[in-house]
Amino acid sequence: MTSIVSVHSFRGGTGKSNTTANVAAVLAGRGLRVGVVDLDILSPGIHVLFGVDQDGLDHHLDGYLWGRYPLRAAAREVTPPGVAGRIWLVPSSVAPHDIARIMAEGYDVGLLGEGVRSLAVELELDVLLLDTHPGLNEETLLSIAMSDALAIVLRPDHQDYEGTHVTVQVARRLAVPRTVLVVNKTPESFDADAVAQRVTEAYDTPVAAVVPHSEELMVLSSGGIFVLRHPDHPVAALYAQLADHLVGVRA
Ligand SMILES: Nc1ncnc2c1ncn2[C@@H]1O[C@H](COP(=O)(O)OP(=O)(O)O)[C@@H](O)[C@H]1O
Ligand SMILES: [Mg+2]
């Protein structure tokens, strides 16, 4: 059985893609077979973290949604060197005409669910991570509904608070078995334990990690995967802790 895990935030730029890529690398580092799907179809980006060049990229989630090929054909292996497990990524297209077509014509959201489930089976995935679009739209609701676990990323910022409440409520209604919060970009001057306690109480939902606003993450600037570049950094341990919360037990 594949564990399906969605990573969501109400607002953009919160750290979903970095969180997803790092959790993928942690889990693959434990020998697991991990899939990642870029469900942020209107503003894709996680491919950058995995070093995928979109020049000439002709297989992507968009093409699957237009019925051109099965989703498996859009999955490319992106396992970094030296990692025990494997990682496959389904990128979304950054070509303006593809994004414009999705915006103009929409697509059959039901196909997403079918594609994701068959991808999990065909690649014999242990875990499938869904990197979502901010806010709530149809594909986000669908991905939350089919998830075994959901990570909601928020910043300690008043603009994030209400929206996070919305997603927490949606996850409860959709009966997601495991929902955790990730407080990201926390100022170094904040006390992480106090932040975790406040946020846990405010949302009545466990906080899996309080990740600092990290100079090293800023410098990496999505040019790679943090836990692979800085395996001994305290932030890498936080991503490992988050991975533990999301997939339950260590493989
Ligand atoms: N904990 C952090 N500390 C510093 N910068 C971060 C942190 N998390 C993410 N970032 C930076 O924030 C930006 C947005 O991150 P990203 O993962 O793309 O967010 P999202 O997918 O939610 O839009 C990127 O430039 C990334 O490097
Ligand atoms: Mg993103």
Mean pLDDT confidence for 45-52 = 97
What does the alpha-carbon distance between residue 117 and residue 4 come to, in Å, rounded to a whole number? 9
Find out whether the beta carbon of 15 lies less than 6 Å from any atom of ligand 1: yes
pLDDT of 1 over the 50 cut: yes
Q: Tell me, using a 6 A CB cutoff, whether residue 101 lines ligand 1.
A: no
> How high is the pLDDT of residue 235?
98
Residue 68 CB neighbour total at 10 angstroms = 13
> Is pLDDT of 206 > 80?
yes
**Whole-number pLDDT of residue 251:** 40
Give the pLDDT confidence of 147-201 residue by residue, as tens digits: 999 999 999 988 888 889 999 999 999 999 999 999 999 999 999 999 999 999 9
Q: Are 167 and 181 in contact (CB under 8 A)?
A: no
pLDDT, one tens digit per residue, over 219-245 is 999 999 999 999 999 999 999 999 999
Domains of the chain: 3-246 (3.40.50.300)
Query: Which of ligand 1's atoms lies nearest the C-alpha of 185?
Result: 1
pLDDT, position 250: 43
Is-above-0.95 flag for pTM? yes
Here the tokens at position 104 are 């103009």
In this structure, are strands 76-77 and 86-90 parallel, antiparallel, or unpaired?
antiparallel
Looking at the DSSP assignment, which residues form a beta bridge with residue 19? Answer: none
Q: What is the Cα–Cα distance from 31 to 44, expressed in whole angstroms?
A: 27
Q: How many CB atoms lie within 10 A of CB 202?
A: 14
Centre of ligand 2 from the C-alpha of residue 77, in Å: 19
C-alpha 179 chain-centroid distance: 13
Please state, for a pLDDT cut of 70, what percent of the chain lies above it: 99
Query: 112: buried, middle or exposed (CB in 10 Å: 19+, 13-18, 0-12)?
Result: buried
Cα-to-centroid distance, 209 and ligand 1 (Å) = 15
Q: Do the beta carbons of residue 186 and residue 207 sit within 8 Å?
A: no
Which numbered atom of ligand 1 lies nearest the CA of 235? 1
**At residue 216, does pLDDT exceed 80?**
yes
The predicted structure's pLDDT at residue 249: 53
Which tens digit of pLDDT belongs to each residue from 115-161?
Answer: 999 999 999 999 999 999 999 988 899 999 999 999 999 999 888 88
